[in-house]
Structure 1
Amino acid sequence: MQRNHYFLLSTLAIALLGACHQGKQQDKKSKHEEDSIAMRQQYANSPVLDGKTAISHMVFDKGLEVQLVATEPLVVAPVAMTFDEAGRMWVVEMTGFMPDTAGTGEDKPDGKIVILEDTNRDGIMDKRTVFLDSLVLPRAVCLVENGVLVATPPQLWFIENDHDKPGKRTLVDDQYAAGGNVEHQPNGLLRAMDNWIYNAKSDKRYRKVGNKWLKQDTHFRGQWGITQDDQGRLYYNNNSENLLGDYFPPGLGGTNPLQQRAAGFDEKIVPDNRTYPLHPTPGVNRGYQKGTLDDSLRLVNFTAACGPLIYRGGLLPATYAGNAFVAEPSANLIKRNILSDSSFVAKGVQAYQGKEFLASNDERFRPVDLVTGPDGAIYIADMYRGILQHKTYLTEYLKNEIKMRKLTLPLNCGRIYRVIPAGSHPANVALHPDSLCGLLLSNNGAIRDKAQQLLIDHHEVSQAPRLRELLKDSQHPFTQRHALWTLEGLHQLNPEDLAFVWQQPDPSLKVQGLAALSSVLNSGNAKAVVASLDTLSDNSYLAPVVAYVLPVLGKADKAAAARLEDKMIKAYAPNRYVAAALVNNAVNREAALLKQVTAWNPDTTLVLRKQLLAVLKNLDNKANARKMEALRTSLPRGYKIFNTVCQTCHGKNGEGIASMAPPLNESNWVNGNKNAFISIVLFGLTGPVEVHGKVYKAPEINGDMPGIGASDEFNDADIAEVLTFLRSAWNNKAGKITAADVQQVRKQNQGRQKPFTASELPK
């Protein structure tokens, strides 16, 4: 019924459009009109193409070539991949993802970690080894020392590699992916330049030191996929944002738990979210909603952005160096962005208007992960599935689209492609232990990363003298950074190394030295370091990073840290980046610092003052911890749904997440008219919404909140309980909502598919 209704509406719209163009215009239809008319016929079926045929359905940049590296049955439903030193590819297969629109059997342990190998060196994988099987929705893999980090919700495991078979297992984190759902759980496991392992959809980082695994707080980042540039800065995105990222090294900040968002982290690097699909793409979750598709039924803006990659491979033409590539599987394309720096601020624009780096008219082409290979090529993991949307948010509209074009099956496909210069024959570089230092000079960032990691994993402390030579090689700035962090990873970095770095003219190298300071600073060498920091703080480019190392300095020399902090307050209080770093340093003394700042300068518009006031407001969250624990007991189903659905966008403390969703704590919508609140959760909310007197709208946040009323996962009693939970959580003090209330709102809006706007809801 809904399918026919949608088709009739589409046909009626086309007919009315045609009636307005009689006479001479009757036979002159625009391309968009022709697409709209032909789309249902052309895409009545979505045929399954073999890997090589699928390439012929792609359009990509002139001068490049797409090659098929692996296809089913060698690989199935790949979602993440990485390379080892032998050039073998380790692939995560999430075969259990959405077997049908109800997610039937999603908890079946059929996921795998497999090793793909090119035994005859012809560029095509021909050997498959299953390293690990019987996994439920695995999502990330990372190679460390003699083993493999594997993320399988909710645990993170380290599994030793015993001749390509799993050996001893160590539980690294039993809460790695606790809460959330398959679309909103930590992933990535990126070994960054600073030797820590970072994640998307997470505020934790990890590192192996000896036989121990360290776990530390860091900034919350992204949703699916994470990458780094040649300075070790991290980039990521959420499903509707092209590219987000950091201006500063990733290990800085994340110290103050009350600081929700620090300026310079989680910044909008490329604010343009427009997409240009090669063909009509009606099969997106909110395709019925005005503005989601254009008049040719093509996706207008990102809705499933993932798998970002900063290209550092050195194989593609020089114009691609440092570009950011982002996958959009809903529209069957890969976006190219061109980045640039202004001071320490990174910004970017789309490489093209009206077209994409790579796009396909095959609806099942689902690029979800992009990596640079040891040959310098861009590798693409194509899940090759009909269903991309998880059941939690699946709308009736998209269920109908899936049914119409029979997108549920097959479930046994998957491809990996690589993009290279046309006609080239790149070869993998052998990473021999005796040549690792030399490989830090490679023009391929993936090779430099791997060489650094292997030097550390093999504990090559004897290479410290050679690494110091490379640290002084100013002709190769990328190599200098890797040499510094390799010394740090080997625990061979010393204050003299940093003193040398801080005397160099390259300010970005000085930043690396500041970021590495925590590895060498102690009470014995603090006096000499303080003098350097005092000088470096006079440079506005370096000042935010100097302020971020104040917590480290405070542990070694509290008085010196206080003096430097006071100096930076008076010099940089209006600077939002330095202010954020000073707030990061003010753990448990935010009120005292606010008093100090106010006594010095009573200006209420001062940036530092505003940031301190915002953090002090978050102190309420600590007081609410006991209340939340009681709600967990009294409303267990509501608590669980909050943690699997709501908190993924609105935050664990209900204060919202930048670029994703506004606060729930003290929200006028949560605490107000219960029928309006029920309507939002059942059907969703679109467009600007006012919370706490502030108007939230795209692109500041995701412009749409999906409803869960069409999900088979939750009944009306479940929905009533999570709404009651939210109306009781944190500082909220509203009344109970019953299953009968939910049923009444459903009845009043029977047949509705589209989300509400704020103006449509009862006050």
Structure 2
Amino acid sequence: MKKYQYPLLCLAISSLLVYCKSNKQTSQQSTATTATTVAKEEKPAETRGKSPFIPAGETIAKMVIEDGFEVKLVASEPLVSAPVAMQFDDNARLWVVEMVGYMPDTVGTGEDIPNGNIVILADKNKDGVYDDRKVVIDSLVLPRAICLIENGILVAEPTNLWFYELKNDQVVKKTLVDPKYTEGGNVEHQPNGLLRAMDNWIYNAKSDKRYRHIGGKWVIEHTHFRGQWGICQDNYGRLYYNNNSQNLLGDYFPAGFGAWNKNQKGVAGYNEKSVANNKVYPLHPTPGVNRGYMKNVLDDSLRLNDFTAAAGPVIYRGDLFGKAFDFNAFVPEPSANLIKRDFLNENGYIVKGDIAYKGKEFLASTDERFRPVSLYNAPDGSMFVLDMYRGIIQHKTYLTPYLKDQIGKRDLTQPLSAGRIYKIVPKGAKPKPVIIPDGAAELVQLLGHANGWVRDRAQQKLVDGKYNQTVPALREAIRQTANPLLAIHALWTLEGLNSLKPEEALSWTRQPSWTFRAQGLYASAAVITPTSYPQFVTAFNTIVDSGDSLAAPYVAFLSKSIEKFDQNAARGLVNKLAIKYPNSRYVSDAVISTLQDQEEVFQTAISASISDQNATINKQLTRVVTGVRNAMGNRNPEMLKKEFPKGEALFTSVCQTCHGADGGGVKSLAPPLNQSEWVTGNKDKLISIVLFGLTGPVKVNGHVYQTPEVSGDMPGIGYDKDMPNEDIAQLLSFIRRSWRNNADKVSTDEVTKVRTKLTGREKAFTEAELNGI
């Protein structure tokens, strides 16, 4: 089977101390060779020498890119260091997050030093190369995301989310938006992104929260948990993200729907595999990955086989690349020094795709220090690439002796914090960025621009500036159909200005085009009120009766909005939908999402109409009901937290991301810990797994877990020599007594004994090997 490495390399959050050696910014642009060029074959890792630091002006020569495109260097050290996230402002200036303090060495000495920055890069002479640096906010500890909004900027600085009000690029006020923005998770597993989506909410990766500024107050709502590093949207506001070992994940349905039922493990249509093919094609041997010693991680030529560090993706929405690149996704793989291109296709509400090429990539480099971590659409239609440009990209928690050896052999430690920013354009193109104006009429016009970044920013500026004088023009825009994207952005601008009328949303739900109907259905949630809801009940019943299968899941989700005002009407809608579509997993899960703590009652109510226990709706309901009953027997988490404080903290920061807060496992990541024989059984086996990891497949309670159901490889924490045996003992005691587990404690001496016995081990265990213990 294929073995994927989770969480391993969340490279996109990786950056270290500023590289002080001045490497002069060059305005000379180099063009990468085309993808059809045969790269010079590099020697296997065992015979290769050190991996050299390449000056910024020479790195592009190491790249191979798709025929017809070129790479241009637009910023490098010392102008920028350790870039992990960025945004453009109205004048095409770059606001860059510099996470200077991440992993100053292989043991993470000094990570808590406040040396991170938010800087503005400007192109003063308008030659396409950034030549000016201004520090706006400094002395931050591991900053990881920003969002320009209204008169300031949101900044994610663990554990907090701050809002800085700005005047003339200077901070005038600082407000704490969320003190628990990154609660839980180690540095590789903390929320990031701050994507301001089409629906006017701000979404995050590695998080189940969304944010919005309403009436002068910051509102925080629960949403679906999504991704690991990076989040983006397509032209219709659907969200896309990934985890380290998955190419591209996404939502089929609107971001704000369906995350209401705490009893429901997952909702069909969210966290779907938009591109399931995880194969990568490095241009050179790439042994410097954490599990490079394991079978099938590298191929015979020592090249990475599959994604192990998929980072911040982007759906290309520019107007520069040509029609063939519409609805294409691009995903960076920093550990293999490449950027993958994916084709996406839409069939109703389902979005699926595949990799664009076999045997090559959109862009790849033979420079081992090229670390593309985040991709962005730009105001000029190009695609920007953040390159952390460094050797060490693995956090100490999961750093294996194998990788430490690789780092040492090729002298990858220094320099710690260079940084480059590139843009990709068609060969010979010299695009100019669109500057976002202040004029109301011009902003409305830009809502229909061919460049998605321009449309997004125009909408945001209209909403932020409360341009209520544009409402008549916006209403005119949503009535035209010649430019659907103009109409869609106008619709959501009206919603952002609190000016959308119920009848306008209703009229869109009756459009023959699914593009318009889908947006109208989502926008309806914002205008269902005590006075308007009867109109929507009538409209939704008509939709269900008409057999509109595309709209059916939406109506199920929208019944939640009806329920606030009329529970009987809402229940009537979901009853009708369940009976009409009993074998649709999308409709079934949408229905169940509205039924928290009423699942069993609902199942009884529809039993006369749906007697087939194998119907999808019945199977899904039974699963939820069983989970609720089982959870009633769970042990008191607060008591366990008091008994094992270090164990609970370690579980939250290291284990919870993949195994779930409820110990039930997480789709595509890890099997359950709750009532797992590996957890409650032989202590030595459990200690061995936690110390040095487990590579699949693995049988838990009679079910064999393997990829793609879960990741194929669980990393251990025993490689971190600073991890106390006492803490590990508490962690194991905590999980052995959590949920419905009731096994005896693990002592520090027991951990010490096993750890001593396994001194020098570098490989993860297999199930067969553990069964021999």
Check whether TM > 0.5: yes
* TM alignment of 1:76-87, pairs within 5 A: 76-87=81-92
Q: C-alpha offsets along residues 143-188 of structure 1, whole Å, 9 cap, x if unaligned?
A: 1100101101111111111211122111111111011011111000
Structure 1 residue 712: Cα displacement = 2.9
Q: Paired residue for 1:567, among 565, 573, 576?
A: 576
Match of 2:7 in 1: none
Q: Paired residue for 2:532, among 521, 525, 530?
A: 525
Q: C-alpha offsets along residues 58-112 of structure 1, whole Å, 9 cap, x if unaligned?
A: 1001111100111001110100111111111111111111111101111111111
Match of 1:302 in 2: 307
Match of 1:70 in 2: 75
Residue 409 of structure 1 aligns to which amino acid in structure 2? Q
Asked if 2 retains the 8 angstrom alpha-carbon contact of 1:74 and 1:126, the reply is yes
- The reply on whether 1:233 has 2:238 as its aligned counterpart is yes
* TM alignment of 1:624-663, pairs within 5 A: 627-663=636-672
Q: Paired residue for 2:275, among 263, 270, 281?
A: 270
Q: C-alpha offsets along residues 358-379 of structure 1, whole Å, 9 cap, x if unaligned?
A: 1111111111110001111100
Please give the alpha-carbon distance, in whole angstroms, between the structure 1 residues aligned to 2:635 and 2:704.
Answer: 31
* SS of alignment partner, residue 619 of structure 1: helix
Structure 1 residue 626: Cα displacement = 6.9
Please give the alpha-carbon distance, in whole angstroms, between the structure 2 residues aligned to 1:575 and 1:725.
Answer: 39
Q: Paired residue for 2:486, among 472, 479, 482?
A: 479
Structure 1 residue 624: Cα displacement = 7.0
Match of 1:556 in 2: 565
Change in CA separation of 1:159 and 1:209 when aligned onto 2, cut-off 3 Å: same
- The reply on whether 1:315 has 2:320 as its aligned counterpart is yes
* SS of alignment partner, residue 159 of structure 1: strand
Match of 1:136 in 2: 141
Please give the alpha-carbon distance, in whole angstroms, between the structure 2 residues aligned to 1:39 and 1:174.
Answer: 45
Match of 1:451 in 2: 458
Change in CA separation of 1:517 and 1:713 when aligned onto 2, cut-off 3 Å: farther
Please give the alpha-carbon distance, in whole angstroms, between the structure 1 residues aligned to 2:654 and 2:489.
Answer: 40
Match of 2:541 in 1: 534
Structure 1 residue 36: Cα displacement = 8.2
* TM alignment of 1:262-411, pairs within 5 A: 262-411=267-416
Structure 1 residue 482: Cα displacement = 0.8
Asked if 2 retains the 8 angstrom alpha-carbon contact of 1:35 and 1:280, the reply is no
Please give the alpha-carbon distance, in whole angstroms, between the structure 2 residues aligned to 1:232 and 1:255.
Answer: 20
Match of 1:687 in 2: 696
- The reply on whether 1:510 has 2:517 as its aligned counterpart is yes
Q: Give the TM-score taking structure 1 as reference length.
A: 0.94
Please give the alpha-carbon distance, in whole angstroms, between the structure 2 residues aligned to 1:165 and 1:126.
Answer: 20
Match of 2:437 in 1: 432
* SS of alignment partner, residue 636 of structure 2: helix
Please give the alpha-carbon distance, in whole angstroms, between the structure 1 residues aligned to 2:377 and 2:634.
Answer: 43
Asked if 2 retains the 8 angstrom alpha-carbon contact of 1:391 and 1:713, the reply is no
Asked if 2 retains the 8 angstrom alpha-carbon contact of 1:198 and 1:206, the reply is yes
Structure 1 residue 620: Cα displacement = 5.7
Identity %: 52
Please give the alpha-carbon distance, in whole angstroms, between the structure 1 residues aligned to 2:703 and 2:603.
Answer: 24
Match of 1:224 in 2: 229
Please give the alpha-carbon distance, in whole angstroms, between the structure 2 residues aligned to 1:167 and 1:758.
Answer: 58
Match of 2:4 in 1: none
- Count of aligned pairs: 730
Residue 542 of structure 2 aligns to which amino acid in structure 1? T
Match of 1:729 in 2: 738
Residue 132 of structure 1 aligns to which amino acid in structure 2? I
Please give the alpha-carbon distance, in whole angstroms, between the structure 2 residues aligned to 1:749 and 1:105.
Answer: 29
Please give the alpha-carbon distance, in whole angstroms, between the structure 2 residues aligned to 1:527 and 1:639.
Answer: 48
Residue 641 of structure 1 aligns to which amino acid in structure 2? L
* SS of alignment partner, residue 312 of structure 2: strand
Gaps of 5+ in 2: 1-37
Change in CA separation of 1:430 and 1:590 when aligned onto 2, cut-off 3 Å: same
Structure 1 residue 559: Cα displacement = 2.2
- The reply on whether 1:468 has 2:502 as its aligned counterpart is no
Match of 1:40 in 2: 46
* SS of alignment partner, residue 307 of structure 1: coil
Please give the alpha-carbon distance, in whole angstroms, between the structure 1 residues aligned to 2:74 and 2:57.
Answer: 10
Change in CA separation of 1:474 and 1:343 when aligned onto 2, cut-off 3 Å: same
Please give the alpha-carbon distance, in whole angstroms, between the structure 2 residues aligned to 1:632 and 1:564.
Answer: 42
- The reply on whether 1:212 has 2:221 as its aligned counterpart is no
Q: C-alpha offsets along residues 379-424 of structure 1, whole Å, 9 cap, x if unaligned?
A: 0000111111111111011011111112111123101000011111
Q: Paired residue for 1:579, among 577, 580, 588?
A: 588
Match of 1:597 in 2: 606
Please give the alpha-carbon distance, in whole angstroms, between the structure 1 residues aligned to 2:599 and 2:511.
Answer: 35
* SS of alignment partner, residue 306 of structure 2: coil
* TM alignment of 1:94-109, pairs within 5 A: 94-109=99-114
Structure 1 residue 761: Cα displacement = 0.9
Please give the alpha-carbon distance, in whole angstroms, between the structure 1 residues aligned to 2:335 and 2:314.
Answer: 18
Structure 1 residue 35: Cα displacement = 6.3
Please give the alpha-carbon distance, in whole angstroms, between the structure 2 residues aligned to 1:693 and 1:332.
Answer: 40
Structure 1 residue 758: Cα displacement = 1.1
- C-alpha RMSD over aligned residues: 1.6
Asked if 1 retains the 8 angstrom alpha-carbon contact of 2:635 and 2:738, the reply is no
Match of 1:249 in 2: 254
**Higher alpha-carbon deviation: 264-273 or 706-715:** 706-715
Please give the alpha-carbon distance, in whole angstroms, between the structure 2 residues aligned to 1:503 and 1:593.
Answer: 30
Asked if 2 retains the 8 angstrom alpha-carbon contact of 1:391 and 1:712, the reply is no
Please give the alpha-carbon distance, in whole angstroms, between the structure 1 residues aligned to 2:320 and 2:41.
Answer: 37
Please give the alpha-carbon distance, in whole angstroms, between the structure 1 residues aligned to 2:221 and 2:101.
Answer: 31
* SS of alignment partner, residue 238 of structure 1: coil
- The reply on whether 1:159 has 2:168 as its aligned counterpart is no
Gaps of 5+ in 1: 1-31
Please give the alpha-carbon distance, in whole angstroms, between the structure 1 residues aligned to 2:526 and 2:635.
Answer: 37
Q: Paired residue for 2:206, among 192, 201, 204?
A: 201
Q: Paired residue for 2:185, among 166, 180, 184?
A: 180
Asked if 2 retains the 8 angstrom alpha-carbon contact of 1:621 and 1:730, the reply is no
Structure 1 residue 511: Cα displacement = 1.1
Match of 1:12 in 2: none
Asked if 1 retains the 8 angstrom alpha-carbon contact of 2:588 and 2:616, the reply is yes
* SS of alignment partner, residue 116 of structure 1: strand
Please give the alpha-carbon distance, in whole angstroms, between the structure 1 residues aligned to 2:630 and 2:241.
Answer: 27
Change in CA separation of 1:429 and 1:396 when aligned onto 2, cut-off 3 Å: same
Change in CA separation of 1:57 and 1:37 when aligned onto 2, cut-off 3 Å: closer
Match of 1:701 in 2: 710
* SS of alignment partner, residue 391 of structure 2: coil
Residue 699 of structure 2 aligns to which amino acid in structure 1? E
Q: C-alpha offsets along residues 508-543 of structure 1, whole Å, 9 cap, x if unaligned?
A: 211111111121111212222212111222200110
* TM alignment of 1:710-721, pairs within 5 A: 710-721=719-730
Change in CA separation of 1:388 and 1:581 when aligned onto 2, cut-off 3 Å: same
Please give the alpha-carbon distance, in whole angstroms, between the structure 1 residues aligned to 2:43 and 2:325.
Answer: 38
User: RCO greater where, 1 or 2, for CA within 8 Å and sep 6 or more?
Assistant: 2
Please give the alpha-carbon distance, in whole angstroms, between the structure 2 residues aligned to 1:406 and 1:598.
Answer: 67
- The reply on whether 1:126 has 2:135 as its aligned counterpart is no
Structure 1 residue 692: Cα displacement = 2.9
